[in-house]
Structure 1
Amino acid sequence: MIHQKPNARSNDELWQEWKLERRHEAKQALIESYVPLVEYVASRMAVNLPKSVSKEDLIGFGAMGLIDAVDKFDYKRGLQFETYASWRIRGAIIDGLRQNDWVPRSVREKARRVEEAYQKLEQQRMRSVTDEEMAAYLNMKESEFRQVLQEISFASLCSFDDPIKDEESETRLSLMVDEKAKNPEYTVNELFLKETLAKAIDKLTEKERTVVSLFYYEELSLSEIAEVMSLSPSRISQLHSKAILRLRGALGRLKPQLMEGS
């Protein structure tokens, strides 16, 4: 539970002063009241990132996401600002990590190869493929394939926040969040995407579905999930990588249709 800093005026009053009267002191007060949310999101993400990544850097990136969230949030829609801001903060942190190239190009290339392999094999066979089948397709030993999954775990964590369409900000991950009152022009595509994502999740193995649920819905860290599932952190990392690459593959097949409909 995130506790905001106490403020003499209620947040409802501050939102009205900022959005209706454009009082910048109200905007600053809102930002200051939600700073703990930035620290919370950064701390949760830091657990799953390499030790070389500074938590202070994450907080700095996340602060930009909070400012963006305060600018763009429509308090009249009845949404929880904490939920909206959390995804903006997370997205800003991911963007900051990408811009600073925390993921080596070689790792990104491995992630792309595995994603394409999942997409092709599972489309051909109309089912989830095994590690053995993936390793054979990629011309490597099964142990080597698992090592690759371990190496690309950070890349797969970031890549699920990539835009569905290159020129827009809607991400695959945003489809996993329950949001209300979307703009009408997004309704048809969004329903189609959510249906496809739901079917893709159903095709994951039981362990992969559990990891996705605990990580994205319950917001547990990978190490916490390892404790819950009585598996090693490296095994959880592999399961997460496989699940996300499979989901990316399933949604990636829709990209040409989305581009045609845009």
Structure 2
Amino acid sequence: MSEQVSEEVITEVEDGVLIVTINRPEAKNAMTKAASEAIAAAMDRLDAEDDLRVGILTGAGGTFCSGMDLKGFLRGESPSVPGRGFGGVVQAPPAKPLIAAVEGYALAGGLELMIACDLVVANAGAKFGIPEAKRGLVAAAGGVMMLPDQIPERVAMELALTGDFIDAKRAYELGMINTVTEGSALEGAKELAAKIAANGPLAVRVSKQIMKESRGWPMDERYDRQGKLIAPVFVSEDAREGAAAFAEKRAPNWKGK
């Protein structure tokens, strides 16, 4: 395992997984400009380094993220990165899979960080909400736009207009999260990441790309557009290696090409 520590964000590498931890537990991991910039840099690293297969985003001290740092907001600071958005990720997530590991609260911008991730593992005691309206604000970092794409629209509307929280059981029932753990959400996320990292990296990346982009494709163009993206995967060295490994009853040795 390797580790890099900045003042507000810790990054670690473990078995091809980049673990990014928001490290402001004294402030419930409220997002600052510095933390956003550090997360953006970590996302760039995730996509740039071939040995990294999956990312995990989590928070220190038993909280995922309580949203924007309001003290910074009052000073005129924006916890966003140009081109990347709030938290360095909501506007432009990485091409590789990103898992949120949620303990405690994922609120406001914290929920928006979470739903910008591809998969979510949460502890049974976690709470979720976009309470911005209670402060005279709008969940503008994707909450009011992205949440209705991920859960029923009327439920998303209720969360946005009331600012109420829901628990992990309800979030799971709505399909907002993938897995509820009784123990560490991070350990659960590592288990999920290991399953993804064991698969062909080209296939994983393109599968994510198609699932994200195809919703906006015209129906009569979908298979043509998909075909252009998957063609390089099907003629790749990894595709041949996957077939050979299956025939030879062994684990594949992926090269990512």
Structure in which a larger fraction of residues adopt strand: 2
Structure in which a larger fraction of residues adopt helix: 1
Which protein shows a greater Rg?
1
Same fold per TM (> 0.5)? Answer: no
Tell me the TM-score normalised to structure 1 length: 0.29
Tell me the TM-score normalised to structure 2 length: 0.29
